[in-house]
């Protein structure tokens, strides 16, 4: 099946009991067992099936199978939010004393999670300029457990060379984690370029309406866990789960099985079945929506680039961008319409611009059907010091825009009138 067909059908066959054509919402916490022996086999992972919704749910299972199919992975897991899914992914790989190397030009909330929260746990995150892939090699030690990048940096829309970073990761026996939230599998499938684990905030483009929280983790099934000296937890018996050795018992699905059976079970950051159902509805139109988002984003970016009050537009699709070559390589269908632009003048000019918008709203989100803006220095990156903002290319008055599905002429008209007002 091709992409748009998979987005509608993958992971679900109408059940024989109800013959429901649409995926049902299974709002239940627990499931009956045929017998004590049946329960034992499920708990021992000798059979697949439902035990408790903190581990698995039939509605969420369809979503997990669908995103795995769209990404080309061996399996997936749904979480309560993007941050929840990232947190569980890192905990599945690292313990106190370990390190993870991350691109520094990423979502500010993720920087805080990595540097502060994980720092308190004793897991160190090292931040590097991802636009020189060799920076990952230079900072790798025997304690390094993963590399982390965003396929499109939030909020600057900068693009790392995924393939080059994956090559360095695999030369060192390290998995590459790629946050593909802004691209979605419609625009980019990171596994095809060497990513081992793909994470999502499904709150964004996957659901598409800004209504439900969620996160997803996709396991490529291609990383070599068995015998890898960096990952003893995959190669030694797990005392918390019947002594299972994941690399032996689960093969290609070792990572995603351990993530569910151990980390999700204990952390409990589970996705609501209702949220999974709403996300499935959104994914049925993912291809149509993302193409319209991309078309609108390019029109808006070209308008802003030509406006005399706009100092800079960080959108790699534009011919003058230093990331234009990588954009053509990784995003031939178009690029996610989340990017930044700088208004000439002061922080106050930027604030007046935002306050003068009428159709477009100030919202701390992205990937909505509606066009929204924010000032990263005051919102998503408010925890990041000014000097660190400057290092990644953000100014105090930088505006982030997530271009929606409205008529592009209406979006541009609102931007134009607000630009006119911000200098008066």
Angle at Cα 410 formed by Cα 407 and Cα 415, nearest 5°? 130
Q: Which residue has the higher pLDDT, 352 or 228?
A: 228
Q: Phi and psi for 264 in degrees, rounded to 5?
A: -60, -40
We report the CATH number of the domain holding residue 265 as 3.40.640.10
Please tell me the total count of domains within the chain: 2
Which stretches within 79-238 are classed as H helix?
82-93, 108-112, 118-121, 134-138, 162-171, 184-187, 232-235
Residues 241 and 327 both lie in one domain: no
Residues 241 and 95 both lie in one domain: yes
Tell whether 207 and 340 lie within a shared domain. no
**pLDDT, mean over the chain:** 94
> Is residue 273 domain-shared with residue 132, that is, in the same domain?
yes
Indicate whether 361 and 377 sit together in one domain.
Answer: yes
Residue given tokens 């995150």 in the structure block: 125
Please state, in angstroms and as integers, the Cα–Cα distance from residue 351 to each residue in 309, 362, 378, following that order: 14, 10, 10
396 neighbors 412 (Cβ within 8 angstroms): no
CA 46/CA 244 separation, integer angstroms: 11
Phi, psi of 296 (to 5 degrees): -65, -40
End-to-end, the C-alpha distance of the chain in Å comes to: 55
Q: Which residue has the tokens 């802004």?
A: 182
Q: How far apart are CA 219 and CA 259, in angstroms?
A: 10
- CA 140 to chain CA centroid, nearest Å: 24
Number of neighbouring beta carbons within 10 Å of residue 65: 15
State yes or no: pLDDT of 388 exceeds 80: no
The span from the CA of 396 to the CA of 405, in Å, is: 28
Q: Facing residues of 216 across strands?
A: 78, 200
Q: Over the stretch 284-335, which tens digit does the pLDDT of each residue have? A: 999 999 999 999 999 999 999 999 999 999 999 999 899 999 999 999 999 9
Instruction: Please report which confidence band the pLDDT of residue 375 belongs to, taking 50, 70 and 90 as the band edges.
Output: confident
Distance, CA of 27 to CA of 300 (rounded, Å)? 42
Give 23-73 pLDDT, tens digit per residue.
Answer: 999 999 999 999 999 999 998 888 889 999 999 999 999 999 999 999 999
Same domain as 266, residue 144? yes
The last residue of one of the domains, among 282, 300, 323, is: 282
What pLDDT sits at residue 395?
79
Clarify whether residues 47 and 164 are in a common domain.
yes
Which CATH number characterizes residue 322's domain?
3.90.1150.10
Burial 129-149 (b: 16+ CB within 10 A, else e): ebbebebbbeebeeebbbbbb
Please state, in angstroms and as integers, the Cα–Cα distance from residue 31 to each residue in 39, 45, 275, following that order.
10, 16, 20
The more confident residue out of 383 and 258 is 258
DSSP track, 286-319:
HHHHHHHHHHHHHHHHHHHHH-TTEEEEE-TTST
Last residue of a domain, one of 238, 258, 282: 282
Chosen domain end from 282, 297, 317: 282
Q: Taking residues 113-118, what's their average pLDDT?
A: 95
Please state, in angstroms and rounded to a whole number, the distance separating the CA atoms of residues 295 and 287: 12
Evaluate if residue 379 carries a pLDDT over 90. Answer: no
Q: What are phi and psi of 3, to 5 degrees?
A: -55, -55
How do residues 120-160 score in pLDDT, each as one tens digit?
999 999 999 999 999 999 999 999 999 999 999 988 899 99
Average pLDDT over residues 91-102: 98
Residue 79 and residue 219 share a domain: yes
| Residues 187, 291 within the same domain | no
Residue 348 confidence (pLDDT): 79
User: Quick one: pLDDT at residue 390?
Assistant: 75
Q: What is the pLDDT of residues 187-209, one digit of tens each?
A: 999 999 999 999 999 999 999 99
H or E stretch covering 77: strand 75-79
| Same domain assignment for residues 165 and 300 | no
Quick one: the chain helix, strand, coil %, rounded to 5?
A: 40, 15, 45
Distance CA 154, CA 157 (A): 6
d(CA 159, CA 407): 27
pLDDT at 389: 72
Q: Nearest Cα to 277, choosing from 72, 122, 66, 108?
A: 66
pLDDT at 340 over 90: yes
pLDDT confidence band for 380 (50 / 70 / 90): low
Position 351 scores a pLDDT of 85
DSSP sequence for 116-147: IIHHHHT-EEEEE-TTSTHHHHHT--TTEEEE
Are 132 and 230 members of one domain? yes
- Mean pLDDT in residue range 333-339: 94
Q: State the burial class of residue 319 (Cβ atoms within 10 Å of its Cβ: 0-12, 13-18, 19+).
A: exposed
Global model pTM greater than 0.85: yes
Q: In terms of residue numbers, what domain contains 383? A: 286-422
Residues 243 and 173 in one domain: yes
Average pLDDT over residues 408-419: 97
The whole-number pLDDT of residue 16 equals 87
pLDDT at 85 over 80: yes
Task: Identify the band that residue 381 occupies on the pLDDT scale cut at 50, 70 and 90.
Answer: low
CA–CA gap between residue 61 and residue 270 (Å, rounded): 12
């Amino acid at each position: 099946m091709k992409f748009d067909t998979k987005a509608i059908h993958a992971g679900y066959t109408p059940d024989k009991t109800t013959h429901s054509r649409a995926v049902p919402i299974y709002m239940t916490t627990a499931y009956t067992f045929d017998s004590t022996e049946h329960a034992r086999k499920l708990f021992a992972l000798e059979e697949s099936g439902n035990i408790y919704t903190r581990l698995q749910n039939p509605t969420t299972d369809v979503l997990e199978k669908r995103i795995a199919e769209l990404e080309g992975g061996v399996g997936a897991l749904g979480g309560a939010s993007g941050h929840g899914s990232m947190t569980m992914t890192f905990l599945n790989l690292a313990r106190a004393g370990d390190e993870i190397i991350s691109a520094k030009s990423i979502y500010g909330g993720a920087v805080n999670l990595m540097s502060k929260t994980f720092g308190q746990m004793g897991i160190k995150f090292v931040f590097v300029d991802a636009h020189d892939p060799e920076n990952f090699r230079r900072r790798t030690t025997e304690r390094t457990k993963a590399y982390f990048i965003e396929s499109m940096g939030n909020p600057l829309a900068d693009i790392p060379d995924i393939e080059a970073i994956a090559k360095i990761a695999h030369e060192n026996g390290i998995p590459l984690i790629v946050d593909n939230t802004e691209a979605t599998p419609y625009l980019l499938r990171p596994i095809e370029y060497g990513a081992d684990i793909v994470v999502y905030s499904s709150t964004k483009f996957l659901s598409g309406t800004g209504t439900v929280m969620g996160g997803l983790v996709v396991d490529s099934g291609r990383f070599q866990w068995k015998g890898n000296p960096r990952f003893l937890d995959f190669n030694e018996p797990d005392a918390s789960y019947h002594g299972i050795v994941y690399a032996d018992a689960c093969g290609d699905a070792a990572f995603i099985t351990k993530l569910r059976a151990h980390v999700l079970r204990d952390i409990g950051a589970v996705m609501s079945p209702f949220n999974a159902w709403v996300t499935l509805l959104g994914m049925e139109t993912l291809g149509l929506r993302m193409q319209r988002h991309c078309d609108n984003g390019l029109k808006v970016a070209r308008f802003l680039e030509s406006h005399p009050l706009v100092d800079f537009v960080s959108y790699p699709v534009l011919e003058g961008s230093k990331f234009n070559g990588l954009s053509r390589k990784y995003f031939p269908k178009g690029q996610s319409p989340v990017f930044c632009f700088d208004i000439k003048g002061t922080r106050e000019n930027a604030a007046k611009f935002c306050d003068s918008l009428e159709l477009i709203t100030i919202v701390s989100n992205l990937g909505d059907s509606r066009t929204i803006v924010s000032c990263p220095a005051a919102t998503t990156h408010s925890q990041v010091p000014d000097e660190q903002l400057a290092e990644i290319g953000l100014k105090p008055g930088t505006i982030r825009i997530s271009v929606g599905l409205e008529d592009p002429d209406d979006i541009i008209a609102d931007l134009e009138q607000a630009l006119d007002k911000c200098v008066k």
